[in-house]
Amino acid sequence: MKFTPNLISVEWLNKNIENPDIIILDATINKVIDASSQRIPKARFFDIKKRFSDVNAPFPSTLPSAEQFQKEARGLGINKDSLIIVYDDKGIYSSARAWWLFKTFRFKNVAVLNGGLPQWILNAFKVEAYSDAVFRHGNFEAKYNSEFMTDFVGVNEFSNNNATLIIDARSEERFNCLVDEPRAGLRRGTIPNSTNLPYTRLFNDYLMKPKTELTVIFNNLVDNKVKFVFSCGSGITACILALAATLCDYKNLIVYDGSWTEYGTLTK
């Protein structure tokens, strides 16, 4: 079976869903699991907010420790040789964050489902209700790679580095300070020397645009930069930019974990 990391079609998953090495993760953010919840068959809930974030951190969706990530991943039955496919119920949204977390902890065999649950349903593929499944403990190993994430100190250094481009995934209105931030009390603003690429520009309906179109979008921004830092509101949609840049074969990609929620709080 040929498995291509980073992005997988719903057609491919439907064809290969019975492969025992495949683990499907529903990374829908703030999902409530009840009797009406639908999932792709065999999907396991990847709880970004409560299990795969540092819940004691001052900012939302903060990167967990390697120990926490490994423990929670093993609890989902994930092994070192698993083939992981992540999706969400918006198309591609929080699934990109889950994908980037696995990469941050040095796991390569992970892909985002292109179009997510909406595209799966559009193709009339089977869905099922959630169940109270208990999974056999996995042997997944997490090893943190600090080159994939940065913090407040790091982003300030990148902001003053002429070889680095900071790209903000928020909407134009938020980036240009025309509307309030959705987080109560958070000031409007932008990281110095950053540019704007709203993540919504990367899609045709629910699907990520093809590589040729994505490359044009990024080439119009990058100039002669050799390193790229992605930011957003709280570190979720920044990972969508990281996914698109990866598909375009860019290297030296970094996500600002705290993003504007952290930066806007710690600066005036």
pLDDT tens per residue across span 126-147: 999 998 788 999 999 999 999 9
Per cent of the chain over pLDDT 90 is 92
Distance of alpha carbon 192 from alpha carbon 6, whole angstroms: 30
Beta carbons within 8 Å of 208's beta carbon, 6+ residues apart? 7, 92, 114, 202, 214, 243, 244, 247
- What are the tens digits of pLDDT across the range 32-69? 888 789 999 999 999 999 999 999 999 999 999 999 99
Tokens describing residue 137: 């403990």
- What are the tens digits of pLDDT across the range 70-93? 999 999 999 999 999 999 999 999
Catalytic residue among 177, 232, 239, 248: 232
Is 232 one of the annotated active-site residues of the chain?
yes
Under DSSP, the state recorded for 201 is G
pLDDT band, very low/low/confident/very high, at 122 (cuts 50, 70, 90): very high
Domains of the chain: 6-129 (3.40.250.10), 149-266 (3.40.250.10)
- The arithmetic mean of pLDDT across residues 93-118, rounded, is 98
**Residue 74, pLDDT score:** 98
pLDDT band, very low/low/confident/very high, at 257 (cuts 50, 70, 90): very high
Q: Which secondary structure element, helix H or strand E, spans residue 262, and what is its range?
A: helix 259-266
